[in-house]
Amino acid sequence: MTGYYDFILGLIPLSLIGVTATLSVLGFSLTSAVPLAASIPVALIGHALFVNSPVEDTQSSPETVESSSSTSFEAAD
């Protein structure tokens, strides 16, 4: 199943390459087209991290959480 973050990961290189190529065709030099085009992937990453932030899976059962937290660690001596 393709989710939101899968689309973001696909759009990052596509937008960088596509917008850079478009700006180059429109007459911008490559040294100015790349930083201008990089603002699009930065905005996508910012949206994915801060606006639509990843959350933990709330469907895990309480038994699973209790069993994983009850394990004890012993010294390696």
What are the pLDDT digits (tens) for 25-77?
999 999 999 999 999 999 999 999 998 887 876 665 555 545 555 567 787 87
Confidence class for position 17, pLDDT limits 50, 70, 90: very high
The answer to whether residue 20 scores a pLDDT higher than 90 is yes
pTM of the predicted protein model: 0.65
Specify the number of domains making up the chain.
1
Residue 30 lies in a domain: yes
Residue 58 lies in a domain: no
Which of 8, 15, 13 shows the shortest CA–CA distance to 54? 8
From the centroid of its chain, how far is CA 24?
26
Residue 54's pLDDT is what?
Answer: 78
The answer to whether residue 14 scores a pLDDT higher than 90 is yes
Residue 26's pLDDT is what?
Answer: 96
Residue 77's pLDDT is what?
Answer: 72
Residue 46 lies in a domain: yes
Crossing angle for the helix pair 4-25 and 30-46, nearest 10 degrees?
160
Residue 41 lies in a domain: yes
